Amino acid sequence: MNRVMVAGVGMTHFGKHLGMGVRNLAIEAVDAAIDDAKADAADIERVYFGNAVAGIVTQQEMIRGQVALRRHALNGAALINVENACASGGSALSIGYEAIASGAAKAVMVIGAEQLNHADKSRPFNALRGSTDIEDIGEAEPGQMSANSLLMDFYAEVAQRYLDTYGADPADFARVAVKNRKNAAHNPNAHLRAPQSLDDVLNARMIVAPLTLPMCSPTTDGAAALLICSEDYAKARGADAVELVTTRIASGARGNPVRDAVAIAYEAAGIGPEDFDLMELHDAAAPAELMQYAEVGLCAEGEGHVLIREGATDIGGRTPVNTSGGLLSRGHPLGATGCAQIVELVVQLRGQANGRQVAGARQALAVNGGGWLDGSYALAVASILRKV
């Protein structure tokens, strides 16, 4: 197996960019990644394009990546579209990792891009219905207007179960939202950066009890791109590269996909949870982050709220989590999220994160979840990065 390097990263501002479109978002991120790697577009042999819901939101189906890059220098590279719910970006990364590790390619571009905001506000919410089993929930009726993401109903159920089982308090979920917003204040690409207090979060509009609006990820547009390559290519270009040690996928059919994906990634890398300086976890809703603390091995089952109360996952704590602001504040443009997590970890491992920098960061973990089946994600992608 060849070593795999992340040589270049690029990311748009995440936010509400009504009408900007997947094409413009993707190209902005791609050009930034190429420049960052000091690379040439002609060297890129393959493109893996992650997108979750363009087929419904913008009605661009089937050849999403080819359309996005049709006027770009990468339009001649072999391109594969990857759709795997909210883990589309992480899944595209996994395929790109395998291409470099196997020697099938020396340089590839991994892209995650999503335009969620639309003049027809029912489109993104109805698109999210497809992230679970439609036979279970039924098709959306013509003209049906959802008030919020169906996924928040699922998160609310597991959140209430967590409160009832482990004696936590809704204020613990609010602490996650406050922490991640504090981090996002130092991330110029984050969707939501204005400070918020515990009272702000707890007294905000209720979406689905016990989740208030700031405990739920916003409807976000954005793109992130990663130029991954062989060690030799990175050295030849003089890139400030970070090693992508491994990336592994697990399906919910096996049980707990986060726990399973992380376990096989740890085994492949020969490390454990105590070896990480920071993590980006999939906090599409605040309780998800608390539960993932146990799933990735930071604490025992049901003790996530203890960590957030102690400040263990703050910047400066034992293992900082979601220094980017996470999905709650950086934003969650579905197909772009998995790539955006890697952008943050690369920036951190390079020591370029400015006001949110984790001192001495050398090893990091990202967990990207996707879809929802049987009380958990339908799949999860775990990626480990290391400072060279």
Q: What is the pLDDT of residues 157-197, one digit of tens each?
A: 999 999 999 999 999 999 999 999 999 999 999 999 999 99
pLDDT cut 90: percent of the chain above it? 89
Mean pLDDT of 126-136: 88
CA 126 centroid distance within chain: 21
The predicted structure's pLDDT at residue 207? 95
Encode 285-317: b = buried (16+ Cβ within 10 Å), e = exposed: bbbbbbbbbbbbbbbeebebbbbbeeebbbbeb
Q: Is the pLDDT of residue 205 over 80?
A: yes
The predicted structure's pLDDT at residue 146? 59
287 and 264 share one domain: yes
Q: Is the pLDDT of residue 147 over 60?
A: no
151 and 226 share one domain: no
Determine the Cα–Cα distance for residues 293 and 263; give it in Å rounded to an integer: 14
The predicted structure's pLDDT at residue 138? 82
Tokens of 176: 């996650």
Within a domain: 128: no
Q: Is the pLDDT of residue 149 over 80?
A: no
Tokens of 76: 């001649």
Mean pLDDT of 365-387: 96
Mean pLDDT of 326-342: 98
DSSP 216-258: B----BEEEEEEEEEHHHHHHHT---EEEEEEEEEEGGGS-HH
288 and 347 share one domain: yes
Q: Is the pLDDT of residue 140 over 80?
A: no
275 and 326 share one domain: yes
* pTM, rounded to two decimals: 0.97
pLDDT per residue as tens digits for the range 86-98 = 999 999 999 999 9
Cβ(259)–Cβ(66) below 8 Å: no
pLDDT band for position 302 (cuts 50, 70, 90): very high
Tokens of 146: 């959802």
Within a domain: 85: yes
Within a domain: 132: no
118 is catalytic: no
308 and 187 share one domain: yes
382 and 324 share one domain: yes
Q: Is the pLDDT of residue 234 over 80?
A: yes
Within a domain: 153: yes
> 113-127, 204-218, 222-236, 298-312: which has the minimum mean pLDDT?
113-127
Within a domain: 133: no
Q: Look up residue 88 and give its amino acid.
A: S
111 and 188 share one domain: no
162 and 25 share one domain: no
> 37-51, 123-137, 210-224: which has the minimum mean pLDDT?
123-137
The catalytically annotated residue of 216, 229, 332, 339 is 332
CATH number at residue 279: 3.40.47.10
pLDDT per residue as tens digits for the range 74-119 = 999 999 999 999 999 999 999 999 999 999 999 999 999 999 999 9
Q: Which domain holds residue 90?
A: 4-120+221-245
191 and 89 share one domain: no
| 264-273 contact pairs (CB < 8 A, 24+) | 264/382, 265/365, 265/382, 265/383, 265/384, 266/297, 266/384, 269/245, 269/384, 271/363, 271/384, 272/297, 273/297, 273/298, 273/319, 273/365
98 and 154 share one domain: no
233 and 380 share one domain: no
Within a domain: 104: yes
The catalytically annotated residue of 17, 86, 191, 216 is 86
* Closest to 212 (Cα-Cα) out of 161, 155, 145: 155
Tokens of 82: 């990857």
89 and 229 share one domain: yes
Within a domain: 125: no
Look at the block and give the residue holding tokens 């770009």: 72
pLDDT band for position 136 (cuts 50, 70, 90): confident
Within a domain: 95: yes
pLDDT cut 70: percent of the chain above it? 97
13 is catalytic: no
Q: Is the pLDDT of residue 143 over 80?
A: no
**Average pLDDT in the chain:** 96
Mean pLDDT of 362-384: 96
**How many domains in the chain?**
2
